[in-house]
Amino acid sequence: MKRDGRTYTTKSIYKHEGNTLTIASSMTPAGPRPKSFSFSSGQTPDLIVTSLRLLSTEELKAFRKMGEDVDGKAAMEALRKIGARFDMNTNRRVRTVMLSRTRVSDADLKQLASFKDLDSVSLAGASVGNGAMKHLAALGISNDSTSA
């Protein structure tokens, strides 16, 4: 825990039940180790309780397979070089490409075709030509979802 620019170690307890890991820690630096996962009535709440759902082996394998394919990853790398930022969906695929205030060229926008789940592009403050609009039109992205 960090407080006032200093790092403290807090004492915690944990329990593992099924696929859930629950951790209880004191909120006070160097405070006593909690004795339970809840505080008693009339007691000052000085407890942080966090529960995490642990992934099964199958879920972890599926999670690792999510994301962009090879072409999508290459496109992300190329667009990052000119300052692009990305918003991802729950499957870890690119949903939005933000090219605002970048020096994006019409040729750079060809990379957008690599993103299968792309639904919007931000070009605010970027100078693009007619070629850029052709690339966007080919992707089926409307002017409503393209800010310029």
Q: pLDDT digit of tens for each residue in the chain (148 aa)?
A: 677 788 878 889 999 999 999 999 988 877 888 888 887 776 667 888 999 999 888 988 877 777 788 889 999 999 999 999 999 988 888 999 999 989 898 889 989 999 989 989 998 888 887 877 787 888 887 554 455 5
Q: Which domain holds residue 117?
A: 62-147
Same structural domain for residues 67 and 134? yes
Query: Would you state the structure tokens that stand for residue 57, as one six-digit string?
Result: 């082996």
The total number of structural domains in the chain stands at: 2
pLDDT at 131: 79
Same structural domain for residues 85 and 43? no
Domain end among 54, 78, 97: 54
pLDDT at 44: 65
Are residues 53 and 37 in contact, defined by beta-carbon separation less than 8 angstroms? Answer: no
pLDDT at 148: 52
For the chain, the C-alpha Rg in angstroms (whole number) is 24
pLDDT at 145: 47
Same structural domain for residues 71 and 136? yes
* Distance (Å, whole) CA 74 – CA 114: 9
Domain end among 30, 54, 78: 54
